[in-house]
Amino acid sequence: MIRDITIGQYYPADSVIHRLDPRTKLVATLVFIISLFLFRSFAAYLVATAFLACVIRASKVPFRYMVRGLKAVLILLLITVLFNMFLTPGTPLVRIWKLTITREGLTTAVFMAIRLTYLIIGSSVMTLTTTPNQLTDGLEKGLRPLNKIHVPVHEVAMIMSIALRFIPILLEETDKIMKAQMARGADFESGGILRKAKSMVPLLVPLFISAFRRANDLAMAMEARGYHGGEGRTRMRPLQYHRRDGAAYLSLLVYLLAMYAAKRIAGF
Amino acid sequence: MSIKIEHLNYIYSQGTAYEKQALTDINLELPDGQFAGVIGHTGSGKSTLIQHLNGLIKATEGTVYYNGENIYAENYVMKDLRSRVGLVFQYPEYQLFEVDVFTDVCFGPKNLGLPKEEVEKRAYEALRQVGLKEKYFKKSPFELSGGQKRRAAIAGILAMQPEVLILDEPTAGLDPRGRDDILEQIARLHAERGITVVLVSHSMEDIAKYVERIIVMEKGRVRFDDTPKKVFEHDRELEQIGLAAPQVTYVMRELKNRGMDVDLCATTIDEAKQSILRCMAGRG
C-alpha cells in the first residue's frame, strides 16, 4: 500500500504521456519553456496553447489538477503583471491618478502572464505524469555525460531518490507519533508559541530517533545487497527509448517549427 | 455505559486520486467489562476502526457513542474521551521520548492536569502493573530491551487509568516468552480492574485463549462477530480471508475424523487436553 503513496503531485493514470520516457518529458518541458521565451508573439502563443491543450488532453489528468500549481504563484503573477503594466515607459493609453498604463506595458504584462501561467502548467504536466523516482532515473541517465568532469551524478540521483522516498515514510511516521501522543493527552494546537514549541518535543524526539533508525537500517540493507556506488551497476528496468518517444520528439520539432512559422508569418 | 458504533464509514484521502474506502457500514456495541478481540488480515481496517473509538479519526459517515454520548457532538470534550479510552498503538515503544522511563509514564497523567503526587502515584502503579522492576524506572527508555520498552509504553497509557483499554498488536515483534508475558498481564488487568479490553491481532492463537468475543474484519467490514467457539466453526471461511483457526482446532478435527469422540469446540490447549483425556479414559 505504501508503494503508491508518492510525494509531489503524481496523478496515476494510464496515458501515453505517463508512459513516455522521463528523459523525453524532461527535454520536452525544457524545450517548451524555452520556446515560451524565445517567440514573443501572440500567434506563437496560440500555437503553444493548442500544443499544451493537446498534451493535457492526452495525459488524462483532470484540468483542475493542472491549475492547482498556479495558486502558489498567484501573488508573484499579480505583482509581475502590475509592475510591467504600470512601470514600462511608452505610449500612454490610460492614466489613473499618477499611474499610466502604456501600450508597451500592457503587451509586456499580458506576455508575462501567459508565459508564467504556461510555464507552471507545462511543468505541472511533467510532475503530474512522472513519479519522482522516474524523474530522478531520467535525470541520472540524462546527466551521465557529466561524470566525465567528475560530477557524482549517480550519488546525487541516489540521494535524491532516497530523500524523496523518505518523505512519505516520515510523514506517515509523524502522523502515527502525533496520534499516539494525542492518545496520551498531548495537545499540539492550543497555547502560545512557547507552549506550542514545547509540545513538539514529544513528537520530534521519537521522530528523529525513528529517522536515524530507518537510515541505519537502509544503509545496512543496501550493503547487505552489495551496493557499492554507481560504478558497474546495472538496472532491473533500464530506461529505454521506445517508438512513442521518437514520436514525442517529432511532435516537439513540429511544435517548434509551428511556433517559428506563426511568428514569421502572422507577425503579431 | 458502553461504546456503540452505528453505520460507520471511513474513506481515506477523500477527493484525491488515492481515495480508498477503509471501513464500510460498521455496527458494533462493546459493553462494559468485555474482553474482545479484533482480528483481520493486514489492511482489513482493524487499526482504522480502533482509532475511531477514541476520536483520533473522524468517521466519514456514521456515529460513535461513548456512554450514550455522541463523540462527534459539537461540545464533546475529545481530551476527556482520550483519557477514558486508552489506545496503545502498534510498536508503542517508538513513542517514548523522555529522559527516563518514569518521567515518560508520567506524561499521560500529567496531561490530564492531575496534581504531582497523584501523577507519580499513578505512574508507579502502572509500571508495577506491567511488571517492570523498579531498577529500570530511572533508566533512559532507550537502554531497555524490546520487551521492556513495550511494557513501559503500555504503562504510559495505563497510568491514565482508562475505562477502556485498546491494544493494537501488543505482541508484534516480541519473542514467544515476551508475548505470553504481555498477554497474561493484560488478562490479569482485565480480571483485576474489570476494565473493557479490546485486543487487536492477526493471530488467532494469541486471541483465542483470552477473549470472550471475536470480531473478524475483512476488507473494511465485520465478517464474523461472536464467541471464539462459534467463530472457529467457520474455519474454511477464515482460511479464505487469510486467517486460520487456532492449531488445536485442526488437531481436534483430525482426531474426530479418525474416530475419536473429542470435543470440537476446544479452542485452547488446556481444553483440548481435558477433552482428549476424557476420551482416553472412556476408552480405557
The answer to whether B233 and B267 are in contact (CB under 8 A) is no
Q: Supply the pLDDT for residue A249.
A: 94
Closest-CA residue in chain A for B53?
Answer: A183
Contacts of A155 (CB under 8 A, 6+ apart): A229, A230
> pLDDT value at position A268?
63
What residues of B are in contact with residue A208 (Cβ under 8 Å)? none
B172 and chain A: CB distance < 8 Å anywhere? no
Confirm or reject contact between B158 and chain A (CB < 8 A).
no
Residues in chain A, overall count? 268
Is the same domain home to B110 and B52?
no
Q: How far is B208 from chain A (nearest CA, A)?
A: 27
A184–B43 CB contact, under 8 Å: no
Residue for grid cell 504531582: B116
d(CA A201, CA B98): 9
pLDDT digits (tens, 9 = 90+) for B87-116: 999 998 888 999 999 999 999 999 999 999
Query: Within this chain, do residues B61 and B22 fall inside the same structural domain, yes or no?
Result: yes
Are B1 and B68 contained in the same domain?
yes
* Helices assigned H by DSSP within A184-238: 193-199, 201-224
Task: Pick A185's closest partner by Cβ from B94, B96, B111.
Answer: B111
> Any residues with CB less than 8 A from the CB of B161 and at least 6 apart, and which?
B109, B122
> pLDDT by residue (tens digit) across A198-246?
889 999 999 999 999 999 999 999 999 988 877 778 888 788 888 999 9
> Residue A262 and residue A42: Cα distance in Å, rounded?
9
* Residue A66: per-residue pLDDT: 81
pLDDT digits (tens, 9 = 90+) for A85-104: 888 887 777 777 777 888 88
Nearest by CB to residue A183, choosing from B17, B54, B96, is: B54
Chain A closest CA to B73's CA: distance in Å?
19
pLDDT in tens, A45-62: 999 999 999 999 999 888
Check CB contact under 8 Å for A185 and B56.
no
Averaged pLDDT of chain A? 86
Chain A touched by B146 (CB under 8 Å): no
Q: Please report the number of interchain residue pairs, chain A to chain B, with beta-carbon separation below 8 angstroms.
A: 58
Select the residue of A4, A184, A206 nearest B160 (Cβ to Cβ): A184
HEC letters along B112-177: CCCCHHHHHHHHHHHHHHCCCCHHHCCCCHHHCCHHHHHHHHHHHHHCCCCCEEEEECCCCCCCHH
Does A20 have pLDDT greater than 60?
A: yes
Q: Are residues B124 and B68 in the same domain?
A: no
Question: How much helix, strand and coil, in percent to the nearest 5, is found in chain A?
Answer: 75, 5, 25
Residues B60 and B8 in one domain: yes
Q: What are phi and psi of B3, to 5 degrees?
A: -105, 135
One domain, residues B155 and B173: no
Percent helix, strand and coil across chain B, each to the nearest 5? 45, 25, 35
- The beta-carbon neighbor of A182 closest among B56, B86, B112 is B56
Could you tell me the residue ranges of all domains in chain A? 2-142+240-266, 152-224
Angstrom distance (rounded) from CA A94 to CA A81: 16
Nearest Cα residue to B48 out of B26, B70, B78, B19? B26
Closest residue by Cα to residue B161 from B189, B213, B122: B122
Taking the CB of residue B262, how many other CB atoms lie within 10 A of it? 21
CB within 8 Å: B157 and A184: yes
Instruction: Check if the beta carbon of residue B201 is closer than 8 Å to that of residue B243.
Output: no
| Mean per-residue pLDDT, A190-203 | 86
Asked if B52 and B169 sit in the same domain, the reply is yes
pLDDT confidence of residue A8: 57
Q: Which helix (H) or strand (E) holds A16?
A: helix A16-19
Cell of B94: 517508538
Q: Which of B18, B54, B111 shows the shortest C-beta gap to A186?
A: B111
Kindly tell me if the per-residue pLDDT of A7 is higher than 50: no
* pLDDT value at residue A160: 85
Any B CB within 8 A of A176 CB: yes
Query: CB neighbours (10 Å) of residue B258?
Result: 8
Instruction: Find, in chain A, the residue whose alpha carbon is nearest to that of B110.
Output: A185
| B166 shares contact with chain A (CB less than 8 Å) | no
Chain A residues inside the 8 Å CB shell of B54: 183
Residues 28-47 of A with CB under 8 A from B: none
Question: Does B204 map to a domain?
Answer: yes
Nearest chain A CA: its distance from B110 CA (Å): 9
- B151-203 tens-digit pLDDT: 999 999 999 999 999 999 998 888 888 888 889 999 998 998 889 999 998 88
The single-letter code of the amino acid at A250 is L
Q: Is the pLDDT of residue A2 over 50?
A: no
Shortest distance, CA A115 to any CA of chain B (angstroms): 28
pLDDT at A165: 80
Interchain contact A2–B (C-beta under 8 A): no
Q: Is B97 in Cβ contact with A206 (below 8 Å)?
A: yes
Tell me the residues of chain B between 220 and 279 that have a Cβ less than 8 Å away from chain A: none
Total structural domains in chain B? Answer: 3
Q: End of a domain among B134, B159, B184?
A: B159
CB A44 within 8 A of CB A32: no
For B204, the domain range is 1-76+163-229
As a whole number of angstroms, the distance between CA A74 and CA A63 comes to 17
B156 touches chain A (CB under 8 A): yes
B81 belongs to a structural domain: no
Which DSSP category does B93 fall into? G
Looking at the fold, whether B70 and B5 belong to one and the same domain comes out as yes
Q: Is residue B84 part of a domain?
A: no
Which residues on chain A are in Cβ contact (under 8 Å) with B51? 179
Helix (H, G, I), strand (E, B) or coil at A190: coil
> Would B278 be classed as within a structural domain?
yes
Closest by Cβ to B94, choosing from A11, A186, A206: A206
DSSP 8-state assignment for residue B174:
-
- By the CB < 8 Å criterion, does A118 face chain B? no
Q: Does B112 touch chain A (CB under 8 A)?
A: yes
A266, pLDDT greater than 80: no
Check if B51 contacts A (Cβ < 8 Å): yes
Whole-number pLDDT of residue B265:
76
Q: Which residue, among B222, B163, B161, has the nearest Cα to B5 in the 3D structure?
A: B222
Split at pLDDT 50, 70, 90, the class of B117 is very high
B57-73 tens-digit pLDDT: 999 999 999 998 999 98
**And the C-alpha cell for B211?**
477473549
More confident residue, A208 or B233: A208
Residue A22 is which amino acid?
Answer: P
Same-domain check for residues B146 and B211: no
Q: A171 touching B, CB under 8 A? A: no
Output the pTM of the full model: 0.74
Considering the domain architecture, whether residues B259 and B119 belong to the same structural domain is answered as: no
Same domain, B23 and B72: yes
Residue A3 confidence class, pLDDT cut points 50, 70, 90: very low
Give residue A1's pLDDT. 32
In degrees and rounded to multiples of 5, residue B69 shows phi and psi of -100, 135
B256 falls in which pLDDT band (50, 70, 90)? confident
Whole-number pLDDT of residue B159 = 94
**Whether residues B155 and B176 fall in one domain:** no
Contact B107 A4 (CB under 8 A): no
Beta partners for residue B4, in sequence order: B29, B65
Give A117: exposed, middle or buried? Use CB within 10 Å, 0-12, 13-18, 19+.
middle
B108 touches chain A (CB under 8 A): yes
